[in-house]
């Protein structure tokens, strides 16, 4: 259970992930540039910058993006 919010989690890993939002703990470092992340999924997304992977394509214009949120933001321009 989260001491700040009283929110309960069914999995201890989910609680651990949540608790990092209250601290400055960033246990997932990028081996290329040293930038650190609270969540492994954010590190995975960041690594695409270094390897040039852009798996998200706009269906309207064909522009490609490394992150889904970047595509979502871009699509608002159409």
Q: Please spell the DSSP secondary structure of 26-46, one letter per residue.
A: --EE-TTT--EESSHHHHHHH
State percent of the chain over pLDDT 70. Answer: 96
Any domain includes 60: yes
CATH of the domain at 32: 3.30.160.60
Any domain includes 13: no
Q: Whole domain around residue 30: which residue ranges?
A: 26-75
Q: What is the pLDDT of residue 58?
A: 98
Among candidate residues 54, 24, 55, 57, the one with its CA nearest the CA of residue 38: 24
Any domain includes 1: no
pLDDT at 55 over 80: yes
Q: How far apart are CA 24 and CA 54, in angstroms?
A: 29
Each residue of 36-72: b (16+ CB within 10 Å) or e? ebbeeeebebbeeeeeeeeebeeeeeeeebbbeebbe
pTM summary value = 0.60
Any domain includes 16: no
Q: What is the pLDDT of residue 50?
A: 94
Any domain includes 17: no
Provide the domain count of the chain.
Answer: 1
Any domain includes 71: yes
Any domain includes 53: yes
């Amino acid at each position: 259970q989260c001491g700040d919010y009283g929110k309960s989690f069914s999995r201890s890993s989910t609680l651990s992930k949540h608790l990092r939002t209250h601290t400055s703990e960033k246990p997932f470092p990028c081996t290329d540039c040293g930038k650190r992340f609270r969540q492994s999924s954010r590190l995975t997304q960041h690594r695409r910058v270094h390897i040039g992977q852009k798996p998200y394509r706009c269906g309207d214009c064909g522009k490609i993006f490394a992150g889904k949120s970047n595509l979502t933001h871009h699509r608002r321009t159409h």
